[in-house]
Structure 1
Amino acid sequence: MAANSFSQVWQDVFSVQPDPPLWVVIATGAVALLVVVSGGRVWRVARNVVTIAHEGGHALAALLSGRQLSGIRLHSDTSGVTVSRGRPDGIGMIVTILAGYTAPAVVGLAGIILLTAGRITGLLWISILLLAAMLLLIRNVYGVVAVVGTGAVVFAVSWWTPSAVQSFFAYLFTWFMLFASVRPVFELQSQRRRHPSPHSDADQLARLTGVPGTMWVMVFAVFNLAMVGLGVWLLLFT
């Protein structure tokens, strides 16, 4: 009985679902863009999800490059820090730092690939599993609240809402991650001008590579904008 139930859940989660009407795709994209551009209270709350992806990118890159991951801390001002141990220089450290500002765009594009394959519920459950894995690495109370809260929202949508609501939420979430990847890059450069710090990702990369920090900000911006363009093309023109 339990095996049959598990099999049914697995089938429901990873079954192919029909594409929503085009107006849903466009409307969710417009709402996501409005949230990012407005910079209001909704953006400040939703930005926590971007920080989760940012720090998750650092963490995954650290593990893949052979560094020892110590933990992740998320803060109420939507900043965060991922601590890993290993060589203080070299390609592993460069990749680890580089992954932060590019991770939200990668998450957004990966979501779009799943959506175009009709794996709407699958996208939501993969997100839950990734959040659960990240929770094991969180080392402060606010971080736990942010990750658990995000996971609870995604779980509630995936478990208790009809497919139309899941589809709307999945497209909104994916568009948001894609568009929201760009704004923090410009915020980074603005902060570097107002309050120069050797601890920003761009300035750490500058120290490690000899390439000016502003150039690394441009790399982040070009990469994320390219992901946005590719995502728009995949969702609207293919």
Structure 2
Amino acid sequence: MQTASGARLDMGRVALLLAFLAVGWFFWDSPVLRPVKLLVVMMHESGHAIASLIVGGSVQSITLRADESGACFSALPPGVLRQIIVFSAGYLGSAVMGAVLMLATFRFRLRRLVLGAACLWLAVMGVLYARDAFTLAFCLGTSAVLGVAAKFLPEGAVEVVNLFLAAFTALYALFDFRSDLWDSQVRAGSDAALLAQHTWVPAIVWAAIWTLLGISLLGWAAYKSMHVDHKSSNMRMPPLSSARRF
């Protein structure tokens, strides 16, 4: 399939993306996937932390728990807009990370750099903001694993790892929208409910806005990443199906 711009749909990438989504869906409750879930929770909390710093606030701590919950404690200057940005950056942050993983790997060919950046991000977040042993151990341990993968995995394997992380991050973000924002009991304690207290905009409205933005972003990134643009040499890459097998 080819678009009007000349971009061709790479069926190898599409098949692998769908396969990873299926694995995440069917093995969602498997303990094997728990480290990846915690990684996405860290993306969520990092979104809050980065947004807090951008609006002029400070981050006191980030906490992860083995039950896949997390928290970011920060101090913000007064202002409704600042609160909207920071509270929105959690759920949208994981959607943004999923989109960035796909685009950086397949549109901009930054394969090893993606894993290297993730390694650095986890190490910095852990050292600066972890205040408990579990969070620090997870951040530094996962950082080390990603760093080793970036250094030693073959190029084709790096692509596969990045696509798996992107697919699982996107799936987790969608599940988060469904379970946290559209379940009325859970939504009562979510970021949407907390933001509603500051803005007087109902939590269900924030849930709708975040869900629409997150799904639109992930869909656009997947569309762009699954196509090979033959008109632009600097964006061109061989299809995943032609990568070396290991």
Of residues 171, 177, 188, the one that matches 2:169 is: 177
- For 1:35 and 1:146, how far apart are their aligned partners in 2? 23
Name the structure 1 match of 2:66: 76
Quick one: which amino acid aligns to residue 159 of structure 1?
K
1:187 aligns with 2:179: yes
Shift of 1:128: 1.2
Quick one: which amino acid aligns to residue 188 of structure 1?
D
Alignment of 1:1-238 (within 5 A): 22=10, 24-38=12-26, 39-41=28-30, 42-87=32-77, 90-115=80-105, 116-135=107-126, 136-189=128-181, 192-194=183-185, 197=188, 199-238=189-228
- For 2:160 and 2:186, how far apart are their aligned partners in 1? 39
Deviations 1:47-96 (A, max 9, x none): 11110100000000000000111111111111111111134652212211
TM-score if structure 2 supplies the norm length?
A: 0.80
Instruction: Report the more deviating stretch, 175-184 or 121-130.
Output: 175-184
Native 8 Å contact 1:32 1:179 kept in 2: no
Quick one: which amino acid aligns to residue 77 of structure 1?
D
Relative to structure 1, the CA distance from residue 63 to residue 36 in structure 2 (aligned partners, 3 Å threshold; closer, same or farther) is: same
- For 2:99 and 2:46, how far apart are their aligned partners in 1? 16
What secondary structure does 1:83 align onto? strand
Native 8 Å contact 1:178 1:231 kept in 2: no
- For 2:75 and 2:144, how far apart are their aligned partners in 1? 31
- For 1:104 and 1:86, how far apart are their aligned partners in 2? 21
Gaps of 5+ in 2: 1-8, 229-246
Gaps of 5+ in 1: 1-20
Shift of 1:22: 4.1
- For 1:229 and 1:205, how far apart are their aligned partners in 2? 26
Native 8 Å contact 2:59 2:75 kept in 1: yes
Deviations 1:180-219 (A, max 9, x none): 21111111035x523564x420101111111111111111
TM-score if structure 1 supplies the norm length?
A: 0.83
Quick one: which amino acid aligns to residue 166 of structure 1?
V
User: What is the root-mean-square deviation in Å for CA atoms of aligned residues?
Assistant: 2.1
Deviations 1:23-70 (A, max 9, x none): 552343123312442322144442111101000000000000001111
Relative to structure 1, the CA distance from residue 184 to residue 195 in structure 2 (aligned partners, 3 Å threshold; closer, same or farther) is: closer
Shift of 1:224: 1.2
Native 8 Å contact 1:104 1:181 kept in 2: yes
- For 1:158 and 1:70, how far apart are their aligned partners in 2? 30
- For 2:79 and 2:176, how far apart are their aligned partners in 1? 25
What secondary structure does 1:50 align onto? helix
Quick one: which amino acid aligns to residue 31 of structure 1?
A
- For 1:114 and 1:189, how far apart are their aligned partners in 2? 28
Native 8 Å contact 2:51 2:89 kept in 1: yes
Quick one: which amino acid aligns to residue 25 of structure 1?
R
- For 1:195 and 1:159, how far apart are their aligned partners in 2? 41
What secondary structure does 2:129 align onto? coil
Sequence identity of aligned pairs in percent? 24
- For 1:185 and 1:45, how far apart are their aligned partners in 2? 20
What secondary structure does 1:182 align onto? helix
Aligned residue pairs total: 216
